[in-house]
Structure 1
C-alpha cells in the first residue's frame, strides 16, 4: 500500500528540499526524496515507484519546476493516480500557470518563500507543512515517535503530528474563532442557524472540508451543519444541507509575510470575503486586513 510523502522538486532547490526532508523525517513522517535512496537503477522506473508508493506528493513550485520536463511527468503521473497534493510555494511574485496551474488549481499551498533566510520562519513553515499534510492524509500515514535524542526536548518544542478533526479559523486581528452556535436565526423563516465568534477554540470551532465543484464546503464536526453566507442580510449562518450559499473558496493570503498559515475565505456565490468587524462576522466586497484568517 502507498506509505510515504514524496518531495517533488527541481534540482536548483535541492539544498532547501533536503533540509525540509531531514526535518520531516526527524519528526517521524515517512518521507521520500530521490537523493535519499529513492532512485536506484533506471531513473524513470524509480520516480514512477516513488509516485506509486506515495500517499502525498509535495511539488516545490517555482518557474524552473514548471519548465522542467521531468517535474511535469512526475506530477502528471501523480495526478492521474489521484495522489493527494500539498503544494509548496518557493517563488516570490509568481503564480503557477500552464500545466502546473491546472493541476494545482484550488489547492492550498504552503508558503516557504524566503523561509531559508530566517530559521524562525523556517520552523513556522515546517509546522505549516506538517499540519497541512496531516490534515489531508493523517489517517493514511504512519507517524513514528521522535527519536530518543528528541524526546528530552521541552514539551512546547515537540511536534504534535496528529490529524485534527477539521480546520479551525482564527481571525488574524481579533483572535476570535468561527463557532457554530446552534441557535436559530430569528430574521429568517428557514432552518438556518447563527454562526458566532468564540474567544477560545473547541470542538464547535472545527469544520470538515468537503470538496465541491470548484469550491469547498465546511461542515461543523459536531453539528454537521454547513457554513454559509447570505449576501442579502450580510449574515453568516449554518445550514443543514449545502447549497450555493454554502460554497467557499479558501485561498492563501499572499500579502501576509508572517509565515503563519494566513488565508482568505471567499464566498463563491456572492464574491464576499468573510471578515470580522466590531466583533461580528460579516462579508466584505473587497479585501482588507479584516479578511485575514489563520488556520489552526
Structure 2
C-alpha cells in the first residue's frame, strides 16, 4: 500500500513517532521503522522506499553520519521519489552527501517543539504541494475537514511578504519591452486573488533553479535588474530563474523562504510599499508560502 515514509536516525525517534502519530491520526497512510528493521534490512528498506510517494528525512548531524540513513536516502533519490526534508536539529546545516542530495529543497522546521502543530500543518501542505494528485493515494482515511483542506492539492503557492503582510500578485497592466515583448506588472495585495498563486517548476533534481508560473495567467515570474522591475511573461529564460531557500532564522513553524533572482542577483522584497530587488539579504526579504 502506498505511504508517506519517515526516515530518521534513532536519536530523534520520539519526534519522528510524534509526527507519525499525527499524520496517522489525520488519516494518512504512514510508514516508519518503529522497532528497528530486522531480517534482511536492505530488502525491508528498499520495499519501504519503493512503496512510498514521498520520503521525509529528519535532518540531524547523526543522520548525516549514519551509513544506513545515507543508504536509505540515496536509494530514495535513485528511485526518483519525492523528498520533503524535516529539520530536527538547531544550528545544523547539511553538508557532504546529505547537503548535495537535499540542495535546493525546502525543509520543514521541527527545531522548536513549542511550534509543533504549526510545523505539522506546514509539513502536510508541503507534501501536498510536492506530490500533487498522488496525495490521494495515501489520504484514503482522511475524514476531518481540517485534514481534507490540508490534503487537497491547491492551484499553486501564494507568497506573503512577512513584514508587509501582503500577497504577491499581478496588476493586470501590460508593458512592452523591446527585447522580450509584453510583460505583466507585479504588485502586492492585502488579500489573495486569482493571480496570487504560483506553480513551481524545476530544472530537474540536482538543480536549485526554479521557475514560478502564475496559475491564472500562465506567465513566468521574472526580474529585470536594469529597471528594478518585477514582471511575468509568456516564456522563461535567464531572467526568470529563481532560487528559493528556507529562511533559517524563522522559528514559527511556517514555510518561511527567501526568493533570489538568479540572473539579477537580487533578493525579492518590499520597500516603501513597492516590490523591489536588493543586493543584501535582510529580515525584509522573508516570505511565507501559503
Q: TM-score range by the shorter chain?
A: over 0.9
Which of 157, 160, 174 in structure 2 is aligned with 1:184? 174
- Cα distance in 2 for residues equivalent to 1:57 and 1:192: 39
Any stretches of 5+ residues in structure 1 without a counterpart? Answer: none
Contact 1:27–1:159, Cα closer than 8 Å, also in 2: no
Question: Who is 1:216 aligned against?
Answer: 210
- Cα distance in 2 for residues equivalent to 1:194 and 1:110: 31
TM-score w.r.t. length of structure 2: 0.92
Alignment of 1:69-84 (within 5 A): 69-84=67-82
Question: Who is 1:200 aligned against?
Answer: 191
SS of the residue corresponding to residue 22 of structure 2 reads: helix
Question: Who is 2:2 aligned against?
Answer: 3
Question: Who is 1:139 aligned against?
Answer: 133
Question: Who is 1:279 aligned against?
Answer: 273
Aligned residues: CA RMSD: 1.9
Segments ≥4 residues shifted beyond 6 Å: 155-158
Which of 211, 218, 228 in structure 1 is aligned with 2:222? 228
Determine if the alignment matches structure 1 residue 175 to structure 2 residue 165: yes
TM-score w.r.t. length of structure 1: 0.90
More strand by share: 2
* Deviation by residue 1:219-248 (Cα, 9 ceiling, x = unmatched): 001110000000011110111100111000
Contact 2:168–2:196, Cα closer than 8 Å, also in 1: yes
Deviation at 1:87, TM superposition (A): 0.5
Deviation at 1:157, TM superposition (A): 8.9
Determine if the alignment matches structure 1 residue 244 to structure 2 residue 238: yes
Would the alpha carbon gap of residues 69 and 157 (structure 1) be closer, same or farther in structure 2, given more than 3 Å must change? closer
Question: Who is 1:99 aligned against?
Answer: 97
- Cα distance in 2 for residues equivalent to 1:236 and 1:158: 35
Question: Who is 1:35 aligned against?
Answer: 34
Deviation at 1:21, TM superposition (A): 0.2
Any stretches of 5+ residues in structure 2 without a counterpart? Answer: none
SS of the residue corresponding to residue 169 of structure 2 reads: strand
Contact 2:244–2:257, Cα closer than 8 Å, also in 1: yes
Question: Who is 2:288 aligned against?
Answer: 294
